[in-house]
Amino acid sequence: MRTRTILPAALMLFATALAVGATAVPADREPVAEAAVDEDTRNSGAIEAGFRDDWQRTNGMLGNGWVSAHDAHRHWWDPLALFDESPVNTDPDKGKIGQPDNAAGRTAAYQDFGAAYADGFSVSTWWNGKHQAVAFPVVCISPEDPDWGLAFCYEPEIAGGVWVLWALGRQPHQIRLIRAGTLPGSAKHTDGTRMLLEMCVSGNTVTCLSDGKEILQHAIPAALRGSTMHGFGLDVNPVPGRPPNVHVLDGPFIIRPLERAPK
């Protein structure tokens, strides 16, 4: 999901979205990784305020309840597995991006977290900050809908660096840009600096934050509202040669109830 990944129809939408800008998160709102769990807690699985996965397991299957999107549609999503305590794309497709049957480096995983996570929750994960590829949380997944689910990531090669809310698309060519945002006055992101990406769902709205700062809000597409399936993804399509096992995503992944709705 980079400059090369944006389809022509999305370019006009992107230009409009950039004009929206963004606002800073209220001072009393803390980043989810600090608010949800003590830093000394290192075990994966259920936590008091939700679910956390640190990925600290041996190489191999994701485990811990995760479902790889690749399992249902092998041509639309690349395979995921754990390697050196991080989910990685183990066999990136080398085909052109934006084609109906070419995964082209994208992959995702999710699980059904139950009725408590149909509304009023936060999903967060860490991107390792290396500009060669992107990682992102994913919310409101509906596997049979053309939009599939919503993802929030930082795109370092678009307009000098912007945050983007994507509808990932059930098939690769169905990806569409929903909204983009910048943070006025912020410095350009430094390659290799980790970034916490968070998506908060409250009512029919998703609020997207980066390192605790609110970047953008948008209405959730009607067909995705109320979904209890959420997760994460990554895209290595810009990496030269698309080798396997590229490190993009860091732990922890956290899903938790919202203490209060985003302002």
- Write out residues in the chain with pLDDT < 50, as ranges: 3-43, 48, 261-263
What's the sign of the alpha-carbon dihedral 136, 140, 144, 145?
A: negative
Residue 213, Cβ density class (10 Å: 0-12 exposed, 13-18 middle, ≥19 buried): middle
Q: For residues 182 and 162, give the distance between their C-alpha atoms in angstroms, rounded to a whole number.
A: 5
pLDDT score for 188: 86
Question: Tokens 């997207």 correspond to what residue?
Answer: 208
* Of residues 156, 133, 260, 142, the one with CA closest to residue 210: 156
- Contact (Cβ atoms closer than 8 angstroms) between residue 262 and residue 202: yes
Mean pLDDT across the chain: 85
**The pair of three-digit structure tokens given for residue 216, joined into one six-digit string:** 């953008």
Name the pTM for this structure.
0.84
pLDDT score for 144: 96
pLDDT score for 253: 98
Q: For residues 31 and 95, give the distance between their C-alpha atoms in angstroms, rounded to a whole number.
A: 37
pLDDT score for 44: 56
pLDDT score for 183: 86
Q: Residue 241: which residues within 8 A CB-CB, separation 6 or more? A: none
pLDDT score for 47: 52
